[in-house]
C-alpha cells in the first residue's frame, strides 16, 4: 500500500474552528462515505464475512494523487474478525461483551454493541 500522509480525523480537524482551514464540501463527504461503504461491502461479501470493528476517522486514510484527486482507504485491521457472536447462554454473552470491550472503540460501536 502506498504512503498516505493524512487521515480523515486530521482532515476534519483542519477544517473546523475559526480560520483553521477549508471545511469539507458535501461532495467530499459523499466521496468519503462511498469509499468507506464500498470497502465495508467488500469485507462483508467475503467468505466468511469480515467485520472491521474499528471504523473511525483515524482509520480512514487519505491519499492525494498528483492530479489532485483524493482516494480514501480503510486501514487498521487489527480488530477485524470473521467470528460471529453467539449469545445463547450467559457465558457466551459475557465472552461477547468482553470481546466487544477489548476490540471496539466505545464512541464508534455499532448501536447493538453499545448496550449489550
Catalytic (active site) residue 54: yes
Residue of 52, 54, 59, 104 marked active site = 54
Q: In whole angstroms, what is the distance from residue 79 CA to residue 60 CA?
A: 15
Q: In whole angstroms, what is the distance from residue 53 CA to residue 33 CA?
A: 17
CB 36 within 8 A of CB 55: yes
Catalytic positions:
54
Amino acid at each position: 500500500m502506498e504512503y498516505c500522509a493524512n487521515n480523515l480525523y486530521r482532515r476534519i480537524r483542519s477544517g473546523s474552528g475559526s480560520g483553521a482551514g477549508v471545511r469539507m464540501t458535501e461532495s467530499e463527504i459523499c466521496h468519503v462515505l462511498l469509499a468507506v461503504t464500498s470497502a465495508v461491502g467488500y469485507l462483508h461479501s467475503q467468505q466468511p464475512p469480515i467485520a472491521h470493528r474499528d471504523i473511525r476517522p483515524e482509520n480512514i486514510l487519505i491519499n492525494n494523487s498528483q492530479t489532485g484527486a483524493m482516494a480514501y482507504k480503510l486501514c487498521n485491521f487489527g480488530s477485524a474478525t470473521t467470528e460471529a457472536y453467539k449469545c445463547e447462554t450467559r457465558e457466551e454473552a459475557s465472552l461477547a461483551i468482553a470481546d466487544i470491550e477489548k476490540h471496539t472503540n466505545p464512541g464508534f460501536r455499532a448501536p447493538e454493541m453499545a448496550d449489550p
